[in-house]
Structure formats: structure tokens, C-alpha cells
Structure 1
Amino acid sequence: MKAIRLTFESFLFAWQALRGNLLRTILSLLGVTVGIFAIIAVFTVVDSLEKNIRSSMSFVGDKVIYVDKWPWVFGGDFPWWKYFNRPVPSVREYRQLQKQLGPNNAGLAIFASKSGNTFKAGSNSISDAVLQGVSYEYRKISDVPVAQGRYFTTQEVESARNVAIIGADVASALFPNGSALGQEFKARGRRFTVVGVMEKAGKSLLEIKSNDTNCLIPFGAFSKLFTINPGSGTGVSATIGIKGLDTDPGLLDLEYEVKGLMRNVRGLRPREEDNFALNRPEMLANAISGLFSVLGVAGGVIGSFAMLVGGFGIANIMFVSVKERTNIIGIQKSLGAKNYFILFQFLFEAVFLCLLGGAAGILLVYLITLLPQDSLPLFLSAANISLGLTVSVVIGVLAGIVPAVLASNLDPVIAIRAK
């Protein structure tokens, strides 16, 4: 109860002091507001960028190992000549993995894609679309959000039927006046029947790949349109994806098993290097996290300078406040007020002032996130709100501790005589 009463009385003193010098209070708040706004705005943009990029790369899948010719390498020298003559994953290797892979996986798929395609349906057409051939379990390793219709059946995939799951932009371009389900369109001279339409993904910051202009067909049907994995280096290369289990931390067991099977399938000797790459989405995630960690630190340092200016402003105003209220402090102490009460009173005032400024800065950031954004929607996370308020409290304590200590140590007799 004593702590609550002390806090309430300190709040009343702080509010009266701040309201009595409204203009000075507002000017002092500006420094903290700008500082918190700068810090939280930077972190908000960085978080939004990272979230947008990660969502743009959702097609990569989660907890998946990709068997490919080229490794995913970020930064530094890339010895491309070392990987150029490697064989690409083949359908035969995919079949071997299907037979030999143990239960330590949640799905195995082979897929290949070709961009720059033109689809036609009557007088309507769409160009620069992506045609992708997939095996049945592809949806287990990658995101296939079917909004209308259904996914392929095993019979459709095994018999290589000309059926397709198209993106939202493909559906609206080819069939603008009605549902695309059950309709036919032409791709590279062959007719395909639409069995599903994917959800609209919209614009993203990284246009690596978008389901909106994508068209999925059975891998066998895709093989009729393109030459898969030719030795001459022309045509389309396939990729094998293996989904891991949640019970396999880091997918280490799955990686060792796939590595051993691939070496056996390709007939590699014990001392020979791998002629394939095992890639994971974590490689992309780690590269992104490293990049945005640097951006976050840089933004935090820049915002800290603005926050430092705001802290000096609060400290200055607290020194002035102590000087103006020296007589009142003397009266309070003569009436029995303890030193800790005076100290807490001024410290609370500094923290309260900083919290008001910090809340104003966070509110400005929140208002910015409400503005319509196409390619980069901003969001203010609870973590950033907590960070802003915490920084405000810390700055308030640092800025107010010295004036509060000076006020609490004043001699009551000398303080009462002050004018």
C-alpha cells in the first residue's frame, strides 16, 4: 500500500509540474518522440522487410532438403567451374530414392519449371507465365494454396494427364468472365484442363517467383513438353526435394541418409567428392537474418543519437524543475518527507515525461503502418512497442537520476530560504 500511495502522489506532483509548464513540457517531449520514432521506425521497416522477403520465399518450403547440381552460396567467391560439369538430378535417381529412402522423411518429390510461356484460351492469353511439372507429393515440400478446385490425384500424375492448377493472374487473364474450373487452355500446343486455382499472392518485394503467374502440371505431362536433364546442357533441369520430420532436429539424419544414397546411386568411390549439392532453406534464412541484423544494428545506432539528444533535453528540464521547486522541496522535507520520497518524485517525473514522448513516437510509427502499402506492407510488432517503452523508461531513469539525487539531498533549511 505504501508503494502504491507513493506512486500515486508522485504521479500527481509530476502531472501538476508538467501541466504548469505546458510549452516547456511539449518541447522536451519532442526530443524523446523523435528519438523513439527513429529507433522504432527503423526496426519496423527492417522487420517488415524481413517478413516480406521470407513470405516471398515461401515456395522454398520449410524443413526440406533439395538435391541439386548447384549449391546455394551467398557472398564470397563462387567456384562455378567446380560445379559446371556435375550431372543434374534425374528421374531415375528420383525413383531410386523412392525405393531406398527410409521412413525418416515426410515426402519426396521431383519438379522442374520453365518460365517465359504463353497460355491461350480462346481470344485471351497471358505471356511470361511459369510452367512447372511436379510429382504428386510436391505439395508436401512446397506451398500450394488451392483456393478453388482441388489438387492432383495420384492417377492424374501417374498417367501424365493434361490437367493443371493455375495461379490467380493466369485464371483472371484467361477466364475473366467466369470460373476457370473445368475450362481448357493451350500451353505449348497442348490443351490442359483446369482442376484448381491457387490463392492470389499479390505483389512482393522480391519477385523471385509468384504463384499468381504459375501453372502446375503433372511431371509426366511436363516431360512431354520439355527435355528433362539433357546431357548436352540444353533444356530443363529437375530438382529433387525431400521433406524432413519434426523429430529430426536440423535434418541431420535425413541429410546423412540422402547423401549416402545419392553417392551409392551415382557410383561414387569413398574418396571421391560429392557431385551433387544438398541445399536447405536455412541457408537462405541465415543469409537474410545476417543481412537484417546488420541493418537493425545500424538503424539502432542512428536512432540512438536522436534518443541521446532527447535524453539531454529531459535532463536539462529536470535540473530546471529542481531549481524552480527548491522551496517546495524544503517545505516537504520540513514536514517529514523522506529523501527517497523526493528522489522517487523527480525520478518518476522524468520517466513519466519520457514515456509520454515514447508513446507519441510509437503512435506516429503506428499511423504510418496504416497507410496503404503495395509492395512493402509495414506492421508494428508487440516486441517493437515493448522495446520503445523500455528504452523510454531507461532514458527517463538515466536523465532524471542525477537531478533527483540532488533534490533529495537538499538541506531543508537552506531549501526553504531559496527564492
Structure 2
Amino acid sequence: MIYLRLIAESFRFAWQALRANLLRTILSLLGVTIGIFAIISVFTLVDSLERNVRDSMSFIGDKVLYVEKWPWSFGGEYPWWKYFKRPQPNTHEYRLLDRNLTNDAGVAIFANRGRNVFKHRNNNYRDAGLMGVTFDYNKVTDIPVAEGRYFIPQEVDAARNVMIIGDEIANTLYPGQPAIGQELRVSGHKFTVIGVMEKQGESMFGMPNFDQMGIIPYGTFSKMYATGPNGIGSTIAVKGREEDIGLQELEYEVRGMMRNIRGLKPRDEDNFAINRPEMATQAVTGFFQVVGLAGWVIGGFAILVGGFGIANIMFVSVKERTNIIGIQKSLGAKNYFILFQFLFESVFLSIIGGGIGILLVFLLTLIPQDMMKISLSAGNIILGLGVSAVIGMLSGIIPAVLASNLDPVIAIRSK
């Protein structure tokens, strides 16, 4: 009970000090407000950017290994000459992997071609992506079909001219009317639309997504555009099982089987690449860690200034209330009571400054954005208030100790 009374009395003293010197307090808290605003706004933007980039890259799948000719690279010199003569993955290798792998949850082969023109009567959609896939591609990556349906095995095996299109393509070619059952042309070939994918919205940094893409059977794609050594390269995608942590077992099995299929000797280097989506996400995370560090540096200087401002308030407050401290101690107040009183006041003032900074960040998140959604997470709110509390404690500890160690007789005589 005594502790609750102590907190209530400390809160009352802090509030009185805030009201008595409102302008001085506001000016002193400005540094903390600016510092917390800088740090939390940067972290909020970084979190929102990272989340939107990851969402934009969601089309490459999760827990998937990609067997390709070229390894992925993110920054630095790329030794393309080492991989130039590698063979492309082909349907023969895909069938052997599909038939013999034991640690997979699905195997598919697909190929892409960009900058296609989709036509329906007088309507055109330019720069569309076209992807040819085998039937199990929907096991490797989620195909979010909103209208219509996915392929059936007979359509893929017979290489029929059917297509699943993105929401943006459907709205452009068939405005105000259903797209299912409609026809469109690509490179002189006629297709029937059997499905429309869910709208994904504008992606970050121009990354492709399903809104601007059409998906057709792999056999149909191969008839339209040559695939293989002298044509468009294909990719074999292998989905891992949930219980295979890190996909280590699957990667060992895929690597061993690919080396066996291609007749590589034990000392021969791999003439294929096994790429993981984590490679892209790790590169994104590394970039945003640097940005977050910059936010700490920028906000740190402002918080440092704010800490000095709060310390100045507390020294002045001790000076102004020296007589009251003496009276309290003469009536039996312990040193820890005086110490906690001033320390609580310092933390309380700092949290107010940090709270205002967080409120400003929240108001920024209310500004509508077309490209990405900005949201203030609970973790960033807790971080902001926590940093504010620590700054308040560090700023008030010396004035609080000085106040608690005052001699009551000398303190009462002060004016």
C-alpha cells in the first residue's frame, strides 16, 4: 500500500512541476520528442518497406529450392563466365526428380518470358509476363485464383491453349465484364481464359507479380517459344516438407540426384545452381538493418540533447523544492522516498516526450499511400516508450541522488 501511495504522490509532484513550468518543460522535452520521432519513424518505414518487399517477392514461394543454370547474386562482382557453358535444366531432369525424390512436397518445371502483348479485340495489354508451368506448380507456389479454376491434368498433358490471367490484365482486356471463357491472343496464338488471380496491388520497386502475368501449360509455352539450350531457360522448382528444417535433407538429395543425372564425377564442380528464396530475403534484411542503424544514429543525437534538457529541468526542480525536501525529511521521509520521487518525475516527463513523438509517427501512418501500407507496430511503440523511460532514468538519476542526500536542517533553511 505504501508503494502505491509513493507512486501517487510522485505522480502528483511530477504533474505539478509540469503545469508550473509548462513552456520550459515543453522546450526541454522537444529533444526527446524529436529523437523518438526520428527513431520510431525510421523503424516504422523500414518495417513497412521490408514487409511490402517480402510480399512483393511472395510469388517465388516459401520453402522452395530452385534448380537453375545461373546462381542468384545480390551485389558484388558476378563471375558470369563460370556459368555461361552450363546446361539448362530440362524436362528429362524434371521427370527424374519428380519420380525419384523422397523428401519433396511437389516438383514443377516452369519458364518465363517478359514483354508480351495480350490482345482481345481492340484492347491491348503490353509488357505482360507469360509463364509456362507444369501441373504441380500450384504445390510449389500458391496460385491465388479468385475467379474460375486452376488447370486440370489433361489440359497440361495435352498442352491446350488455356490461360490463367492476373487481375490487372483481366480489367484491361475485359472492362466491366467477366473474363472467364473469353478469348485472347498472344504472339498469334489464341487462348481461352479459365481463371483470374486475386488482385495483389502495386509491388515495391517495380517487382513483378501475378497482376501483370498470364500462366499457361508448360507444353504450350514450349510450342510457342523454344526452351532448352538455345532457347528460353527453364527452372525446376522443388517444394520442401514442413518437417525438413532448413531444407537440408532435400538439398542434399536434389544435389546428389542432379549430379548423378548429369554424370558428374566426385571431384567435378556442380554445373547447376540450387537457389533459395531466403537468399533474396537475407539481402533485403541486410539492407534494412543498415537503414535502421542510420535511424538510431540520427535519433540518438536528438535524444542526447533531450536527455540534457530533462536533466536541466530536474536540477532546477531540486533547487526550487529544496525547502520542501527538508520539510519532508524532517517529518520522516526516507532517502529512497525522495530519490524515487524525483526519478519518477524525470521518467514521467521523458515518457511524455516520447509519447508525443510516437503520436506524430502514428499520424504519419494515417496518410494514404498507394504503393505501400505504413503501419505502426506494437513492438515499435514499446521500443519508443522503453527508450524514453531509460533516457528519463539516466537524466534524473544524478539530480535524484543529490536531492535524497540533502541534509534536512540545511534544506529547510534554504530559500
Shorter-normalised TM range: over 0.9
Give the SS at the match of 2:131.
strand
Amino acid at match of 1:34: I
CA distance in 2 between counterparts of 1:61 and 1:210 reads: 12
- Please report how far the alpha carbon of residue 215 of structure 1 lies from its aligned counterpart in structure 2 after TM superposition: 0.3
CA distance in 2 between counterparts of 1:122 and 1:66 reads: 38
Give the SS at the match of 1:272.
coil
- Please report how far the alpha carbon of residue 382 of structure 1 lies from its aligned counterpart in structure 2 after TM superposition: 1.1
Q: Which runs of 5+ in 1 are unaligned?
A: none
CA distance in 1 between counterparts of 2:25 and 2:83 reads: 66
CA distance in 2 between counterparts of 1:107 and 1:335 reads: 79
Given that 1:354 and 1:392 are in contact with CA atoms closer than 8 Å, whether structure 2 keeps it comes out as yes
1:295-374 aligned at under 5 Å gives the runs 295-374=291-370
Give the match for residue 261 of structure 2.
Answer: 265
**111-120 vs 24-33, greater mean Cα deviation:** 24-33
- Alpha-carbon RMSD across the aligned residues, in angstroms, is 1.1
Given that 1:69 and 1:89 are in contact with CA atoms closer than 8 Å, whether structure 2 keeps it comes out as yes
Give the match for residue 133 of structure 1.
Answer: 132
Q: TM-score, normalised by structure 1?
A: 0.97
**178-187 vs 135-144, greater mean Cα deviation:** 135-144
Amino acid at match of 1:8: A
- Please report how far the alpha carbon of residue 219 of structure 1 lies from its aligned counterpart in structure 2 after TM superposition: 0.8
Give the match for residue 376 of structure 1.
Answer: 372
Given that 1:115 and 1:128 are in contact with CA atoms closer than 8 Å, whether structure 2 keeps it comes out as yes
Give the match for residue 36 of structure 1.
Answer: 36
Given that 2:120 and 2:184 are in contact with CA atoms closer than 8 Å, whether structure 1 keeps it comes out as yes
Give the match for residue 116 of structure 2.
Answer: 117
Deviations 1:88-139 (A, max 9, x none): 100111111112112x111111100111111111111111111110111112
1:165-314 aligned at under 5 Å gives the runs 165-229=164-228, 231-232=229-230, 235-314=231-310
- Percent identity at matched positions? 65
Deviations 1:305-338 (A, max 9, x none): 1110110000001100110111111111111111
Deviations 1:174-231 (A, max 9, x none): 10021101111111112111111111111122222121110011111111111011x3
CA distance in 2 between counterparts of 1:177 and 1:386 reads: 47
Given that 1:331 and 1:412 are in contact with CA atoms closer than 8 Å, whether structure 2 keeps it comes out as yes
Amino acid at match of 1:357: G
Deviations 1:280-318 (A, max 9, x none): 011111111111112211211121111101100000011
CA distance in 2 between counterparts of 1:44 and 1:23 reads: 30
CA distance in 2 between counterparts of 1:122 and 1:76 reads: 47
**271-280 vs 187-196, greater mean Cα deviation:** 187-196
CA distance in 2 between counterparts of 1:89 and 1:297 reads: 41
Matched, 1:87 2:87: yes
CA distance in 2 between counterparts of 1:149 and 1:417 reads: 88
CA distance in 2 between counterparts of 1:79 and 1:120 reads: 40
CA distance in 2 between counterparts of 1:17 and 1:285 reads: 50
Given that 1:56 and 1:207 are in contact with CA atoms closer than 8 Å, whether structure 2 keeps it comes out as no
- Please report how far the alpha carbon of residue 384 of structure 1 lies from its aligned counterpart in structure 2 after TM superposition: 0.7
Deviations 1:369-418 (A, max 9, x none): 11011223211111111100100000000000000000111111111111
Q: Which runs of 5+ in 2 are unaligned?
A: none
Give the match for residue 13 of structure 2.
Answer: 13
Give the SS at the match of 2:214.
strand
Give the match for residue 160 of structure 1.
Answer: 159
CA distance in 2 between counterparts of 1:377 and 1:397 reads: 35
Deviations 1:61-109 (A, max 9, x none): 111000000011223322110000000100111111112112x111111
- Stretches of 4+ moved more than 4 A in 1? none
Give the SS at the match of 1:206.
helix
Given that 2:167 and 2:198 are in contact with CA atoms closer than 8 Å, whether structure 1 keeps it comes out as yes
Give the match for residue 96 of structure 2.
Answer: 96
**242-251 vs 292-301, greater mean Cα deviation:** 292-301
Amino acid at match of 1:162: N
CA distance in 1 between counterparts of 2:337 and 2:330 reads: 13
CA distance in 2 between counterparts of 1:125 and 1:194 reads: 15
Give the SS at the match of 1:375.
coil
CA distance in 2 between counterparts of 1:32 and 1:345 reads: 21
Amino acid at match of 2:248: L
Q: TM-score, normalised by structure 2?
A: 0.98
Given that 2:98 and 2:106 are in contact with CA atoms closer than 8 Å, whether structure 1 keeps it comes out as no
CA distance in 2 between counterparts of 1:188 and 1:388 reads: 56
CA distance in 1 between counterparts of 2:318 and 2:139 reads: 67
CA distance in 2 between counterparts of 1:132 and 1:74 reads: 24
Given that 1:330 and 1:410 are in contact with CA atoms closer than 8 Å, whether structure 2 keeps it comes out as yes
CA distance in 1 between counterparts of 2:149 and 2:401 reads: 71
Counting matched residue pairs gives 415
Deviations 1:145-169 (A, max 9, x none): 1111111112211121111110011
CA distance in 2 between counterparts of 1:197 and 1:115 reads: 19
Given that 1:94 and 1:240 are in contact with CA atoms closer than 8 Å, whether structure 2 keeps it comes out as yes
CA distance in 1 between counterparts of 2:273 and 2:50 reads: 26
1:67-82 aligned at under 5 Å gives the runs 67-82=67-82
Give the match for residue 56 of structure 1.
Answer: 56
Give the SS at the match of 1:151.
coil
